[in-house]
Amino acid sequence: MNTLIPAWKKLILTGLSEDAIAFDWTARAAKLARKDTPNDIATASLIAKSDGIWAGETGLRALELVSAEMGMPLHVTSFAKDGDALTPKKKICEWRGDASSILVFERTLINLAGYASGIATQTHELVSLSRSKGLKHPPRITGTRKTLPGYKDLSIQSTLIGGGYPHRYNLSGGLLVKENHVAAAGGIAAAIANARTTAPHLLKIEIEVRNLIELKEAIAGGAEVILLDNFTPEHVREAVKLKPANVVYEVSGGIRRENLESYLIEGLDVISVGGITHSVKSVDLSLLFSNT
């Protein structure tokens, strides 16, 4: 079983609830217009209208389950798998079922699948660029925790489909000492020491630094992962010269497709990009009824 199906089901049900589908007058009118159609069975095709990477396969499985549970069963035939490239006019899948049911689910599924595919598409572009420079060890591209409440699982799944990696799943999934934690602790050395007394032994300690002076303090304090926050490419190169063999370097802050190439520096391990999930351009999708 795909363990992400429940997350998709929850989002689909939320969308249907917000749409107040019980009083969808236009769908009712369409059903009335088709009263002479045998069993009111219709077929509709989901079509891509823009380039991208498909990331809605789990959503289609969830759609079948939700529609069946609601007594409005739809059968979906897929022609694309997660990770497949989309081009305009590409047929992604076909829905078959009651015409009014198709109309009820149309917008919710398109919104979610377009958003997920947008994340996968943007991630894929960044990952492809990171591997194009021929570095011996290209940095991995990760998302961040900048996701909308309720969309975390979908966002992480889409990032993975695009070839990227997730960051910590939630606050308990990693120990990241940021600027405000350092200020509260009274300095970098104290922040690292305090973190080590509370952290589970399986978690590495990551600390955010803003300049080369703080970087040296973090290295001296025994940080295992160091986040170079808003470093310029020139400062990243200087930081790499100071890097101990057992320390992981991550860089974050304002990195996007336009400037990613300048951060592809040997010795940098991770580039985290909040824009993967917080500035998403959805893939354009359309659901069209067949003439028959």
Closest to 3 measured CA to CA, from 153, 166, 169, 142: 153
Query: What is the model's pTM?
Result: 0.92
The Cα 166–Cα 4 span in angstroms is 15
> What is the pLDDT at residue 23?
73
Assess contact for 271 and 142: CB atoms under 8 A.
yes
Sheet strands side by side (includes 74-78): 74-78, 91-98, 41-48, 285-289
Across the range 157-175, mean pLDDT stands at: 92
129-278, what's its fold? TIM Barrel (3.20.20)
162: its two tokens: 């695009």
Q: pLDDT tens for residues 199-257?
A: 898 889 999 999 999 999 999 999 999 999 999 999 999 999 999 999 999 999 999 99
- In this predicted structure, the answer to whether residue 30 has a pLDDT above a threshold of 80 is no
Residue 292 has pLDDT above 80, yes or no: no
Contacts of residue 186, defined as CB under 8 A and 6 or more positions apart, other chains included, come to: none
Query: Model confidence at 109, in pLDDT bands (50, 70, 90)?
Result: very high
Beta-ladder partners of 190? none
Structural domain boundaries of the chain? 5-121+280-289, 129-278
Q: Is there a contact between 113 and 107 (Cβ–Cβ < 8 Å)?
A: no
- In sequence order, what DSSP letters do the residues of 214-267 get, joined into one string? HHHHHHHHT-SEEEEET--HHHHHHHHHT--TT-EEEEESS--HHHHGGG--TT
Q: 12-26, 59-73, 272-286: which has the minimum mean pLDDT? A: 12-26
- Count Cα atoms within 13 angstroms, Cβ side, for 198: 11
pLDDT reported for residue 35: 59
**Residue in 256, 290, 288, 287 with CA at minimum distance from that of residue 56:** 287
Q: How many residues does the chain have?
A: 292
Q: Which residues are catalytic?
A: 146
Q: How far apart are CA 195 and CA 54, in angstroms?
A: 40
Q: What is the mean pLDDT of residues 162-176?
A: 91
Residue 173 pLDDT class (50, 70, 90 cuts): confident
Fold held by 5-121+280-289: Aldehyde Oxidoreductase; domain 3 (3.90.1170)
* 205 DSSP β-pair partners: 175
* Mean pLDDT (whole number) for 85-109: 95
How confident is the model at residue 258, as a pLDDT? 93
| Of the candidates 150, 164, 86, 92, the residue with the CA atom closest to the CA atom of residue 122 | 164
Task: Answer for the pair 106, 287: CB distance below 8 angstroms, yes or no.
Answer: yes
Average per-residue pLDDT in the chain? 92
Among positive and negative, which fits the CA dihedral 204, 207, 211, 215?
negative
